[in-house]
């Protein structure tokens, strides 16, 4: 699994003009599921997302997690994170998981985040979405469950 993590002051996702997910202070996470991903990858992502210390403490150091600040996570499915742009001009998506198993792992990540006590909102899997956010910092990180980066 791959994720783009953004520390935000607020974020929301709309489908066909309706808000389907919205958070205040927390993390906007774009999540891409790959063909080699399994339950262990979902567990890694949920644990890392809820415990990653990227929020400032009283001294201004990144020393607090989304759990520590009482923030939420807006989780957006994004198969294009599995895109390969190394050849040619059009990305290849051979590494992206098929929709049904990808959705199951995406839902597992969301459920596991909730088990850590963090409020989680989601986009609509497989739908065209409009995502808006106010990035805090900006602070952005890339995460790969295979530890490729």
Q: Tell me the domain boundaries of the chain.
A: 2-144
Task: Give the CA angle between residues 130, 24, 47 to the nearest 5°.
Answer: 90
Q: Which CATH class is domain 2-144?
A: alpha beta
d(CA 145, CA 114): 19
Per-residue pLDDT of the chain (149 residues; tens, 9 = 90+): 999 999 999 999 999 999 999 999 999 999 999 999 999 999 999 999 999 999 999 999 999 999 999 999 999 999 999 999 999 999 999 999 999 999 999 999 999 999 999 999 999 999 999 999 999 999 999 999 998 88
Confidence (pLDDT) at 12: 98
Q: Specify the pTM.
A: 0.97
At 144, list the tokens: 């790969």
């Amino acid at each position: 699994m791959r994720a783009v993590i953004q520390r935000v002051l607020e974020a929301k996702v709309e489908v066909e003009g309706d808000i389907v997910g919205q958070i205040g202070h927390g993390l906007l996470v774009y999540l891409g599921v790959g063909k080699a991903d399994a339950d262990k990858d979902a567990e890694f992502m949920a644990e890392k997302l809820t415990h990653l210390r990227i929020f400032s403490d009283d001294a201004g150091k990144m020393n607090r997690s989304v759990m520590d600040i009482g923030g939420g996570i807006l989780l957006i499915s994004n198969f294009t994170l599995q895109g390969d742009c190394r050849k040619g001009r059009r990305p290849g998506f051979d590494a992206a998981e098929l929709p049904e198993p990808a959705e199951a792992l995406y839902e597992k990540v969301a459920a596991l985040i909730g088990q850590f006590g963090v409020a989680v909102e989601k986009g609509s899997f497989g739908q065209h979405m409009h995502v808006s956010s106010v990035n805090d910092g900006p602070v952005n990180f890339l995460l790969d469950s295979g530890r490729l980066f």
